[in-house]
Structures are given as C-alpha cells and as structure tokens.
Amino acid sequence: MGEYQGIGCASHSHRQGRRFWNLRTPDRYLEAVRDGVTVEAADELLNPSERALEALQLSLRTRHGVPAGALGLVPEELAGLVEAHPSEPERVVLTVPGRLLANEVALRLVV
C-alpha cells in the first residue's frame, strides 16, 4: 500500500492513492518510448473503502496475517483456510490450503 514506481513494460506504480500501469507488450512500450509519448496504459483511483479492503486482502497474504476481528465472515466459511497466528493468537493467517485459495478467501472478506 506504499508508494512505488514501476519501470518497464507492464509495470505498475502507485503514487498519492493513484495506481497506474504501463503498456503491456514490449513492442508497444518501446514504440511509445521511441516516439516520446506516454507509456502509461491506464490508471485507477481507489476510494477509502476500496483501499481498506485491498489492505486487508494483502495483509492476510503475509506471514503476519490480520487481526481476527477484521474478518467479517461466519467461521464455517473459513474452516481450514485460516488459523490463529502461531505466536499471536489474536491474529489469523492463511493455512497452506488457504494460501492456495488466497484469491477466493480475499473475495469473501468484508470490511
């Protein structure tokens, strides 16, 4: 969720809440550079609730996980996909099967 600058074709950048990405194919990217035109393909600006959900989804994928109370799900929906953090029981992390289904878990998160 920090600021970063992507360099090259298909790279992504994030500055001041705006996420943007460069042309995807090397041919189009190099042609744009050669012609002196923008290499930026598109951008998006997330609202605060979208940013909060994305932060939660990304945090769940880390070894630190998220606070247990941050997941607005019925426990049965998470059975086998998340577990208490080994050293911080007030946090939850993805299990090995949960890591394989991280996108599915992320889609079910509610802020």
The CA-CA-CA angle for residues 38, 43, 44, to 5°, reads 165
What would the pLDDT profile of 74-107 be if each residue is shown by its tens digit? Answer: 557 777 888 888 888 888 888 888 888 887 787 7
What would the pLDDT profile of 42-55 be if each residue is shown by its tens digit? Answer: 999 988 888 888 88
What would the pLDDT profile of 29-41 be if each residue is shown by its tens digit? Answer: 999 999 999 999 9
Question: Where along the chain do its domains lie?
Answer: 12-45, 49-107
3-state DSSP assignment of residue 7: coil
Q: What's the pTM value of the predicted model, to 2 decimals?
A: 0.66
pLDDT, residue 72, reads 63
Q: Pull the structure tokens for residue 26.
A: 């090397």
The CA-CA-CA angle for residues 66, 59, 45, to 5°, reads 130
